[in-house]
C-alpha cells in the first residue's frame, strides 16, 4: 500500500501531464504483479469495488475518537475520508499489499465490512489509510485517463499505443497477461468481441499547402462539429468508442440500437433532429453520462454520419485505397439514424475554398481532404488526410484576472480571465491559457504585476486596461457561465497593446455569433 499511497499523493499534486505520465510509468515498472495491475485499474476507474458509505466511515471513527474532536477536525479538514485517515489511531503498520485491500473491498459481505475496514485501517499508516479510504469510497479523483495509462504502458516496452488500444477492451484487472506482453512475452489474444481499432487522424492544412497538391487525387467532405467515433457491431456485440478508444456505448443506447450492420465503421457522432444536425452544444448534453434518461433520448436524439469502413462483414478493408472503401460504404444501407457523409464536388482548391467559406449548415466546421488512394493507417500520418478548418471566430476582450501557472510557467501569470462590455460593466466571458509566445508571456506577466488592483489568494484582479484578441472555435449557451455563453477552445491570438479598453467588444457581439 505504501507505494500506491505515495503515487496517489504525488499525482494529486502534480499539474503537468508529462510529469504524471513519468510517475505512473516508473510506478508500473517498479511494482510487481498483481499490485500494479490493481493500481492501474483503480486509477483509470476500471476497478469494480464495493462502495463504502460516508456514514459507515463516520460510525467507525466515532468508536475510536471523541465525537466533538472528530467534528472539529472534519470542519477543519473538509474531507471525511482524509479526516479519518489522519485521526485514526496508529496501529502496528505492516504495509499489506494493495491486492489485499482490493480483495477486502471486493469480497467482504455487508455485515462483516465495518470490522474488516477497521482492521485494515489499524494496519496502515496515515497516507495509506487515505489511499485505502479513497479506494473504498470510490473517490480517487486523480485524473488518469485510460489513454494516459496506455501511454505509460507504451513507455515500458515494445507494444505501441495503437497495439495497446487494440487489445485494451478485452483486458481485465490486474492485467497479468498485459504486463507479461510488455515484458517481452506473448501478446494477449483479444478475447473481447467488437474490439476498438486505432483510428486514422488528419493534420491541419491551409491553401498554401494545398496549392502544391493535385486536387483530383483527393476526396473532400464536410468536417462535422460532433465527436469522432468508431461504431463496432461484431457477432451481436455492439460498441461505440471515442477516437481514443473509450467505450461510450452506455451513454448512447439509441445509436447502439440503430447499429444494424456487421463491421467497424468510422464516422461522426451527432445530435440529429430529422434532417437537421444540431449544434455541438446539444451533443455535449449527451456526453460523459453513465446512463441517459428517456427525456433526453427524445429531445436530443443521437445518430451517426459515416465516412469510412475499417472492417465490413468479416473483411478487413484497412489495406484498400479509400476510394474502394468508400464505394462499399456508399453501397451499404444503414437504416434510420445512420447515414453517409456526402462527398463534395470540386474541381480545384478555389472551389473548395468557396465551399468552406459558405457551408450549408452552422454545424460544419470546415472540410476534410483525403487522398483517394490512402489506406487506413492508425495514427496521424502527415499527407494522406487533411483538415481545413474554417477561420476561428474572434472578439476583442479585456483582461480582468490573472493567475500564476505551474511547471514551465512557474512564476509567470499565464492563466487569464477576460471579459466583454455589458453596458458600463465588464462581464467575464472566458479563460485562456495559451496562444501567446514566450516573449509575450513575459510582457503579459509584467503587465499583470504592474496593474494588479486586488489579490484573492493566487488570483490577481487587474485594472481593466489591456485588450486581447481572443480566438475560439465555437460558442454554446451555458447556464454555468455568468455571461450565458461558453467558448470552445479559446486562446489569446493577439495582444492589442494599441487598443483602449473602451473599444473592446460588447457581449451583444458575442451573442450575435451564437
Residues that bind another protein (CB under 8 A): 6, 10, 12-16, 19, 22-23, 26, 65-66, 68-69, 72-73, 76-79, 82-83, 86-87, 90, 125-126, 404, 406-408, 410-412, 442, 445, 449, 457-458
Residue 368: all three cell numbers together: 476534410
CB of 76 to another protein, least distance (A): 6
Q: Three-class SS of residue 261?
A: coil
For the bound state, the minimum distance from the C-beta of residue 65 to another protein, rounded and expressed in Å, comes to 6
223 is catalytic: yes
Q: How far apart are CA 79 and CA 141, in angstroms?
A: 13
Going by DSSP bridges, is the β-strand pair 263-273/276-277 parallel, antiparallel, or unpaired? Answer: antiparallel
CB of 71 to another protein, least distance (A): 10
Q: Taking the complex as a whole, how short is the minimal distance between the CB of residue 132 and another protein, in angstroms?
A: 16
CB of 14 to another protein, least distance (A): 6
Identity of the residue, 32 or 457, whose beta carbon is nearer to another protein in the bound complex: 457
What cell does 469 get?
484578441
What minimum distance in Å lies between the beta carbon of 41 and another protein? 23
Kindly provide the residue ranges of all beta strands, DSSP E only, lying in 372-412, ordered along the sequence: 385-389, 393-404
The DSSP output letter for 180 is: H
Nearer to another protein, 74 or 312 (CB): 74
- Cα dist. 323→108, 215, 283, 388 in Å? 57, 15, 30, 20
The x, y and z cell numbers of residue 122, run together, are 489499524
Instruction: Please compute Rg for the chain using Cα positions.
Output: 27
Residue 307 CA: distances (Å) to CA of 162, 194, 219, 282, 351:
21, 19, 11, 22, 21
| Residue placing its CB nearer to another protein in the complex, 319 or 458 | 458
Burial letters for 306-320: b for 16+ Cβ neighbours within 10 Å, e otherwise? bbbbbbbeeeebbeb
H runs (alpha helix) in 65-195 = 67-77, 80-87, 98-107, 113-122, 126-136, 146-154, 161-168, 176-182
Nearer to another protein, 187 or 406 (CB): 406
Q: Which is nearer to another protein, 20 or 325 (CB)?
A: 20
Of 20, 134, 223, 370, which is the active-site residue?
223
Q: Calculate the CA dihedral of residues 66, 70, 72, 78 and round it to 10 degrees.
A: 180
Residue 119 Cβ, how far from another protein at the closest point, in Å? Answer: 20
The sign of the CA dihedral 62, 83, 138, 288 is positive
Cβ distance to another protein smaller for residue 336 or 407: 407
Nearer to another protein by Cβ, of 7 and 164: the residue is 7
Q: Nearest distance from residue 69's CB to another protein, in Å?
A: 5
Q: Which helix (H) or strand (E) holds 488?
A: strand 485-488
For residue 293, the tally of other CB atoms under 10 A from its CB is 9
Distance separating alpha carbons of residues 139 and 51, to the nearest angstrom = 9
**If you ran DSSP here, which 8-state letter would residue 249 be given?**
G
**Residue 436 Cβ vs another protein, minimum distance, rounded to whole Å:** 15
Closer to another protein at the Cβ: 382 or 455?
Answer: 455
- In whole angstroms, how close is the CB of 440 to another protein at the nearest point? 14
Distance CA 446, CA 439 (A): 11
Q: Please choose, from the candidates 197, 194, 188, the residue with its C-alpha nearest in 3D space to the C-alpha of residue 166.
A: 197
Nearest CB to another protein, comparing residues 384 and 405:
405
Q: In whole angstroms, what is the distance from residue 90 CA to residue 73 CA?
A: 17
- Residue 453 zone, left/alpha/beta (φ > 0; ψ -120 to 50; rest): alpha
Give yes or no for a contact between 24 and 152, defined as CB atoms under 8 angstroms apart: yes
Q: Which residues contact 339 (CB under 8 A, 6 or more apart)?
A: 303, 304, 305, 306
Sequence-separated contacts (24+) of 329-335 with Cβ below 8 Å: 329/265, 332/261, 334/258, 334/260, 334/261, 334/304, 334/306, 335/258, 335/260
Active site residues: 223
Amino acid at each position: 500500500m505504501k507505494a500506491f499511497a505515495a503515487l496517489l499523493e504525488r499525482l494529486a499534486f502534480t499539474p503537468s501531464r508529462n510529469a504524471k505520465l513519468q510517475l505512473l510509468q516508473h510506478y508500473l515498472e517498479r511494482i510487481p504483479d498483481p499490485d500494479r495491475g490493481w493500481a492501474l485499474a483503480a486509477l483509470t476507474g476500471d476497478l469494480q469495488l464495493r462502495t463504502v458509505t460516508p456514514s459507515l466511515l463516520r460510525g467507525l471513527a466515532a468508536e475510536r475518537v471523541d465525537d466533538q474532536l472528530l467534528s472539529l477536525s472534519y470542519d477543519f479538514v473538509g474531507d471525511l475520508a482524509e479526516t479519518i485517515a489522519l485521526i485514526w489511531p496508529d496501529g502496528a503498520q505492516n504495509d499489506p499489499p494493495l491486492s489485499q485491500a482490493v480483495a477486502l473491498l471486493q469480497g467482504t459481505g455487508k455485515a462483516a465490512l465495518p470490522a474488516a475496514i477497521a482492521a485494515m485501517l489499524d494496519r496502515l499508516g496515515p497516507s495509506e489509510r487515505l489511499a485505502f479510504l479513497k479506494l473504498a469510497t470510490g473517490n480517487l479523483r486523480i485524473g488518469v485517463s485510460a489513454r494516459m495509462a496506455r501511454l505509460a504502458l507504451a513507455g515500458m516496452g515494445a507494444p505501441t499505443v495503437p497495439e495497446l488500444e487494440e487489445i485494451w477492451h478485452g483486458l481485465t484487472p490486474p492485467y497479468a497477461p498485459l504486463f507479461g506482453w510488455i515484458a517481452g512475452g506473448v501478446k494477449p489474444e483479444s478475447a473481447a468481441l467488437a474490439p476498438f481499432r486505432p483510428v486514422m487522424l488528419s493534420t491541419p492544412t491551409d491553401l498554401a499547402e494545398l496549392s502544391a497538391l493535385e486536387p483530383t487525387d483527393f476526396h473532400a467532405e464536410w468536417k462535422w462539429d460532433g465527436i469522432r467515433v468508431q461504431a463496432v457491431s461484431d457477432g451481436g456485440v455492439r460498441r461505440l468508442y471515442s477516437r481514443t478508444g473509450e467505450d461510450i456505448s452506455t451513454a448512447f443506447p439509441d445509436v447502439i440500437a440503430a447499429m444494424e450492420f456487421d463491421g467497424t465503421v468510422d464516422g461522426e457522432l451527432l445530435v440529429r433532429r430529422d434532417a437537421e444536425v444540431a449544434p455541438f452544444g446539444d451533443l455535449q448534453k449527451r456526453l460523459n453520462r453513465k446512463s441517459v434518461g428517456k427525456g433526453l433520448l427524445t429531445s436530443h436524439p443521437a445518430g451517426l454520419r459515416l465516412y469510412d469502413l475499417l472492417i465490413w462483414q468479416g473483411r478487413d478493408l484497412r489495406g484498400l485505397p479509400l476510394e474502394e472503401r468508400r464505394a462499399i460504404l456508399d453501397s451499404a444501407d444503414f437504416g434510420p439514424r445512420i447515414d453517409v457523409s456526402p462527398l463534395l464536388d470540386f474541381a480545384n482548391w478555389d472551389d473548395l475554398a468557396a465551399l468552406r467559406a459558405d457551408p450549408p449548415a452552422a454545424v460544419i466546421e470546415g472540410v476534410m481532404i483525403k487522398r483517394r488512394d490512402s489506406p487506413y493507417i492508425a495514427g496521424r500520418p502527415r499527407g494522406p488526410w487533411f483538415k481545413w478548418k474554417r477561420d476561428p471566430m474572434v472578439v476583442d476582450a479585456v483582461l480582468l484576472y490573472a493567475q500564476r501557472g505551474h511547471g514551465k510557467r512557474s512564476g509567470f501569470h499565464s492563466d487569464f480571465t477576460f471579459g466583454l462590455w455589458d453596458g458600463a460593466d465588464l462581464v467575464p466571458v472566458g479563460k485562456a491559457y495559451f496562444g501567446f509566445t514566450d516573449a509575450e508571456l513575459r510582457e503579459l506577466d509584467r503587465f499583470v504585476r504592474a496593474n494588479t488592483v486586488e489579490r484573492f489568494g493566487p488570483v490577481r484582479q487587474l485594472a481593466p486596461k489591456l485588450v486581447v484578441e481572443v480566438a475560439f472555435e465555437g460558442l454554446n449557451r451555458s447556464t454555468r457561465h455568468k455571461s450565458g455563453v461558453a467558448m470552445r477552445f479559446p486562446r489569446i491570438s493577439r495582444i492589442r497593446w494599441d487598443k483602449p479598453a473602451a473599444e473592446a467588444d460588447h457581449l451583444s457581439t458575442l451573442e450575435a455569433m451564437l
